[in-house]
Amino acid sequence: MFRACGSPVRRLSGYPVAFLAWLAILATSCATSPPSTVGVRHFVFEQDSFAFANELVWEYRFDELGKWTSKPRQPEPDYTHHCFVVARSAKQFFAHARFDPDRPVADPQTYRRLIRRVVSTRPNRDLPDGGRIVIPGYASLREFSQAQEKLLKAECGGAWHSYFQHGHWRMIWPFRRRHQQEMAEQLVTDLKQNRPPVVHVVRFPRLTINHALLLFDFAETDREIRFAAYDPNAPQEPATLAYDRLGRTFSLPTNFYFPGGRVDIYEIYRNWCY
């Protein structure tokens, strides 16, 4: 069964030693980071997120005994398993596009070409303001996606982009508390540089959640870091991803697709292997 969004995961068992050794080498080689230059502006949730949602195949709830249960959603939704696509595309529009409401609205063929240009760019790089792809007729991605929803859904990428996101291999590697501490610090650094990171949210080998969020802000105390997130499943308002400094753990609150609790996090769309 799928949980939230993404590819199915299974319990790790019987993997050859050679395969695990290859993963260790790959993990070591993936320690590179993007340039430390600062992005041109801060991500604004009400402007830089999509107006439409990644829909869920299942409806989730606690039953009368307090057990987390699910049943197929009715009627069957038609835009599912796109959370990685939506989060990645929001990052690409933020980093590579510029909206110009003073220009006239273009025809569908023009927008199709522009959308394809945006989503074909590397998510981990910013374009200078003068080199950005101009989207005419709209003031923001939120406004653009309200008016051109079907076109954006068709051109940003199919569900297979979520199934085969190239960083999925990392979920089977152990998430040590030191790694999660370093990840929290890395995410804060990204956000200070106006580089909103996309994170893969997992509980491998459990199937409780397999999802993507785009983080765009944070607030720190001595006890925790609270990250503000754009959740492709819930575009109405920001979500919260919390990091507990003492336990060195991330957590999500209960929502309409996750019962709440600890999660493991790693950043994706960061380099060639994530």
Higher pLDDT, 274 or 66: 66
pLDDT value, residue 241: 98
Q: What is the pLDDT of residue 273?
A: 66
The answer to the question of residue 173 being in a domain is: yes
Q: Is residue 24 part of a domain?
A: no
Distance, in Å, from the CA atom of 266 to the CA atom of 6, rounded to the nearest integer, reads 15
Q: Integer distance in angstroms from the first to the last C-alpha of the chain?
A: 24
**Position 158 confidence tier, pLDDT thresholds 50, 70, 90:** confident
Q: What is the pLDDT of residue 208?
A: 86
Which pLDDT tens digit goes with each residue over 43-96?
999 999 999 999 999 999 998 888 999 999 999 999 999 999 999 999 999 999
Q: Give every CB contact of residue 266 below 8 A, 6+ residues apart in sequence.
A: 167, 170, 171, 175, 179, 183, 199, 200, 274
User: Residue 95, class by beta-carbon neighbours within 10 Å (0-12 exposed, 13-18 middle, 19+ buried)?
Assistant: buried
Question: Does residue 140 lie in a domain region?
Answer: yes
22 inside domain? no
More confident residue, 212 or 172: 212
Residue 25 domain-assigned (yes or no): no
CB atoms inside a 10 Å sphere around CB 130: 6
pLDDT band at 6 (very low <50, low <70, confident <90, very high): very low
With cut-offs at 50, 70 and 90, classify the pLDDT of residue 128.
Answer: confident
Which one has a higher pLDDT value, 42 or 127? 42
Query: Model confidence at 127, in pLDDT bands (50, 70, 90)?
Result: confident
Residue 73 sits in which domain range? 42-268
Number of domains in the chain: 1
C-beta separation of 39 from 194 below 8 A = yes
Considering the domain boundaries, does residue 19 fall inside one?
A: no
Which of the four pLDDT bands, split at 50, 70 and 90, describes residue 104?
A: very high
**Is residue 228 in some structural domain?**
yes
Its pTM surpasses 0.85:
yes
The answer as to whether 4 is a domain residue is: no
Task: Give dist(CA 122, CA 133) in Å, integer.
Answer: 13
pLDDT tens figures, 249-273: 999 999 999 999 999 999 998 776 6
